[in-house]
């Protein structure tokens, strides 16, 4: 009886969930593009401009479309992290909320005024969080204590390592903040391209 129930469940599961690969309908390129990258799809359909951050040394290219988030710093030291509203031939337009006047402002910024572009979202402050990584700083002391019987109060060499390990754990926890900016120069340039 158990074998009969198992056979019935197996046949029904195969008929419900099993579909032959040749019976699946493939999506068109436009549908895949609209699903995976809607901002790129809109730019191609409208024939608009898009930003390209070229790294000539590494032969890498990063693209930004209207609606994408872009974090950058200008030559005057102003920092922006906003969605791109419009991309012109040599300018970008963003909508920036002014906290002092409490109103939404439209900023048109020339590409030549941008000196640094950020890869990821920029956040304020440093993450200090306590976790298992902070206990790693005490590993040399405990190892010497257990293995060699050296008291933690007498182990001055291991006490010197604790601040270094703590500093390393802070750098690792904030690596997305510290290694985020791309300074524009001869090897890294921001350009505007037009989709056809």
* In a domain? residue 108: yes
Q: Within a domain: residue 13?
A: no
Verify that 42 and 97 share a domain, yes or no: yes
Which residues in 122-133 are b (16+ Cβ under 10 Å) and which e? beeeeeeeeeee
pLDDT of 16 higher than 60: no
Q: The domain containing residue 161 runs over which residues? A: 132-173
95 within domain boundaries = yes
- With 90 as the cut, is the pLDDT of residue 114 above it? yes
pLDDT-derived band at 113, boundaries 50, 70, 90: very high
Residue 46 has a pLDDT of: 83
Most confident range (mean pLDDT) of 81-85, 122-126, 159-163 is 81-85
Same domain, 169 and 190: no
**Residue 162 pLDDT:** 76
Read off the pTM.
0.65
∠ Cα 69 63 192 (to 5°): 100
Domain membership of residue 67 (yes or no) is yes
91 found inside a domain = yes
39 pLDDT higher than 80: yes
Query: 144 and 78: one domain?
Result: no
- Give domain status of residue 11, yes or no: no
Pair 143, 185 in one domain: no
Candidates 122, 121, 92; CA nearest to 109 is 92
> Are 87 and 52 contacting, i.e. CB atoms less than 8 angstroms apart?
no
| Number of folded domains that form the chain | 2
Do 168 and 190 have their domain in common?
no
């Amino acid at each position: 009886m158990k074998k009969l129930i198992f056979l019935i469940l197996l046949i029904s599961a195969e008929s419900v969930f099993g579909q032959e690969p040749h019976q699946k309908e493939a999506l068109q390129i436009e549908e895949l593009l609209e699903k995976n990258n809607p901002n790129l799809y809109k730019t191609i359909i409208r024939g608009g401009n898009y930003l390209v951050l070229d790294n000539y040394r590494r032969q890498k290219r990063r693209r930004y479309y209207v609606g994408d988030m872009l974090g950058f710093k200008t030559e005057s030291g102003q920092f922006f992290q906003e969605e791109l509203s419009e991309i012109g031939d040599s300018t970008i337009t963003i909508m920036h909320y002014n906290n002092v006047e409490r109103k939404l402002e439209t900023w048109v910024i020339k590409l030549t005024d941008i000196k640094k572009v950020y890869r990821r979202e920029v956040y304020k402050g440093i993450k200090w969080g306590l976790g298992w990584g902070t206990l790693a700083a005490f590993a040399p002391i405990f190892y010497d204590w257990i293995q060699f019987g050296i008291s933690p109060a007498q182990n001055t060499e291991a006490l010197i390592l604790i601040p270094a390990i703590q500093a390393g754990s802070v750098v690792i926890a904030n690596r997305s903040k510290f290694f985020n900016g791309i300074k524009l120069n001869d090897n890294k340039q921001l350009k505007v391209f037009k989709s056809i």
